[in-house]
Structure 1
Amino acid sequence: MNNNRIIELLEEQPRQYVSGEALSRELQISRTAIWKQIKKLESQGFEIEASRRLGYRLMSKPSQLTLPVLLKKLEGTALVRSIKLLDTVDSTQNVAQRLAEEGAPEGTLIIADHQTSGRGRHGRSWVSPAGKGVWMSLVLRPGIPLQFAPQLTLLAAVALCRALKSVTSLEIGIKWPNDLLIGGKKISGILLESTAEDERLRYVIAGIGVSVNLERGDYPPELLDVATSLLIESGGQIERSDVVAAFIREFEHLYALYQQEGFGPIRTLWEALSVTLHKLTRLYSPAGEFEGTPIGLDERGALLVKKSDGSIVPVFSAEMSAPKAGG
């Protein structure tokens, strides 16, 4: 594995340059091949400084997600029963769904270092580079009626928002239904996919993607105005295992609360964290588009929108534009 050997050689001389010639001689490959391997390492989150005259030196490594560290940080929790740490997958949702169909119990957690086809709501793709984010899916078997599935989406948004605020102290809010925003820019994706039988949920796969340590160069230009990361907003690297552990702890607490007391407490928490409410906006629903002011959630989890004529309508599925200034 040339990549691993290059890192080993650079680590042998911390913060010092190692010439391309020395690396080429040690690995018995051309200097052009060394350069290509360096570029591959950089795409995986390694920061390597290159000098035409001096060679290469390792400045920083991506935070590594390891099973011992995760288990240590999850001590005292009961929800997660097994963790599968994977290197590269198409989507953690796909892996979790296959395992759920095979009978994987509630609390099976799939985490990947890299997704090649990460996806969000409405089939959108999700930028998921190696070593820089949290890309995970959790198998749930809540045994509740199918119509209550949207409530779990809102619960996941509250859990993730509370978790990220605790890890970073950043001002993070929820845009309905489950987008997390900092200064109007998206930092995470939440996708719950379910399978039902006889109008009850057989299982739910809760997919969570968090842009933790992505830099501006990791995003395609067209996303720079709408997407951001915890690193960009905080100015420093965030330990990814802290993000995973904080989310699981929050989700476990809220999931137990939901099962004991229903949706009421979750609704109150969601409304307190929302950046959507009481601002005039335009919604694009299957029934058509209209303007209105979201005023809260109903007991089912629908967004209550007050229209210009004073009527209040529940909305279960819609795209929402940015709130209007002064609305």
Structure 2
Amino acid sequence: MAEPLSDRVLRLLLTADPGGLSGQELARRLGVTRSAVWKAVEELREAGYEVESRAGRGYRLHRAWRGLRPPEVEACLATARLGRPVRYLARTGSTNAEADRWAEEGAPEGALVVAEHQDRGRGRRGRSWADLPGRSLLFSLILRPPLPAAAVPPLTYVASAALAEALAAWAPRQSIEIKWPNDVLLGGRKVAGILLEMRAEAQAARHVVLGVGVNVGGAPDDLPEEVRALATTLAAWAAPPPPDRLAVLCGFLQALEPLYDRFVSHGFGAVREAWTRWFRAADRRVRVHTPSGPVEGTAVGLDDAGALLLEAPDGTTRRILAGDLHYATTRAP
């Protein structure tokens, strides 16, 4: 996919001297006409970027607006490979579907799809994910772990631990909670969800798509009515200045990379503690709705294979591989 001229212009403006760059210089470096540069600058302005045009001095980018276009993502990354290359979409059906197609075409590990809005965003078990265009962070990361397919599912927990750590840059740590299996909460309300999808071949993972949605900006009242009572936004918990989608994205990727490498090399047991520190349900009475019916017990945590452990009233321990966790009304004695 050819890089849009507007992104090429943005990349040069991001690295330009404070005085900016003239239209003539931009045209020379990019091998296009000054008219084409002007049209690209107008596209950036329409997208929300504040590009100042000064007679005789050219164009200068103000950094008050930070978007999610590839040049900005690349500039903020501190990872070795996660987040590169980047594919930006103003609108898509699903970033996971787009990433899956890209992976099938040969995209490398670490390739990233980001979008401003999804028409068909989805979560686990076919549930939908509603976003706030321009304020939600929506992305999918392509990974190619050299693992058997059966060893891949705990990667959801690795990602949720990294996301919780990233959100702690804005929200009080005590307010952040991982709700098994794939949600991150703030003050008991959902602020982010993770969807892991995999293609396998001969019982080995061919590629994994890690989809993440985070309610970054706006107020809880801005969220769709059907989720308002159960969801929140990072902005509602953050001290000024308001959280920045670009910083959340790059913070997540930076937190994920070392955990992912450890997971691939040594298994989930090597990163379980990073997940456990955000699991507030430990020692609480819970009910888990599993595919075979509801199960109740006291939550213990995860084992080395990523199964949820519940202690039954008779003292036995049960391993839960899939389901939805709900808290009971009282703590276990």
| Same structural fold, with TM-score higher than 0.5 when normalized by the shorter chain | yes
Q: Which residue of 2 aligns with 1:300?
A: 305
Q: Report whether the alignment pairs 1:159 with 2:142.
A: no
Give aligned pairs, total.
Answer: 270
Q: Which structure has greater helix proportion?
A: 1
Residue of 230, 248, 264 corresponding to 1:226: 230
CA distance in 2, matches of 1:306, 1:312: 4
Q: Which residue of 1 aligns with 2:269?
A: 264
Which string of whole-angstrom CA distances, capped at 9 and with x for unpartnered residues, describes residues 260-303 of structure 1? Answer: 33222311111121022110011111121121111021111000
Q: Which residue of 2 aligns with 1:83?
A: 86
CA distance in 1, matches of 2:144, 2:221: 39
CA distance in 1, matches of 2:308, 2:160: 14
* Residues 123 and 235 (structure 1), Cα distance of their counterparts in 2 relative to 1, 3 Å cut: farther
- Paired residues of 1:113 and 1:130 also in contact (CA < 8 A): yes
Matches within 5 A, 1:86-235: 86-170=89-173, 171-234=175-238
- Paired residues of 2:156 and 2:195 also in contact (CA < 8 A): yes
* Distance apart, 1:243 and its partner CA: 0.4
Segment drifting more, 87-96 vs 230-239: 230-239
Identity of aligned residues (%): 38
* Residues 66 and 100 (structure 1), Cα distance of their counterparts in 2 relative to 1, 3 Å cut: closer
Which string of whole-angstrom CA distances, capped at 9 and with x for unpartnered residues, describes residues 194-214 of structure 1? Answer: 011111111100001000003
* Distance apart, 1:135 and its partner CA: 0.1
Q: Which residue of 1 aligns with 2:252?
A: 247
* Residues 76 and 93 (structure 1), Cα distance of their counterparts in 2 relative to 1, 3 Å cut: closer
Give TM-score scaled by structure 1 length. 0.78
Q: Which residue of 2 aligns with 1:66?
A: 69
CA distance in 2, matches of 1:183, 1:158: 17
CA distance in 1, matches of 2:74, 2:328: 41
* Distance apart, 1:167 and its partner CA: 4.1
- Paired residues of 1:282 and 1:292 also in contact (CA < 8 A): yes
CA distance in 2, matches of 1:66, 1:323: 43
CA distance in 1, matches of 2:264, 2:227: 38
Give TM-score scaled by structure 2 length. 0.76
CA distance in 1, matches of 2:331, 2:65: 42
* Distance apart, 1:185 and its partner CA: 0.2
Q: Which residue of 2 aligns with 1:314?
A: 319
- Amino acid in structure 1 at the alignment position of 2:199: T
- Amino acid in structure 1 at the alignment position of 2:184: L
Residue of 282, 296, 318 corresponding to 1:277: 282
CA distance in 1, matches of 2:78, 2:282: 37
Segment drifting more, 68-77 vs 108-117: 68-77
RMSD (Å), alpha carbons: 2.0
- Amino acid in structure 1 at the alignment position of 2:130: V
CA distance in 1, matches of 2:296, 2:200: 33
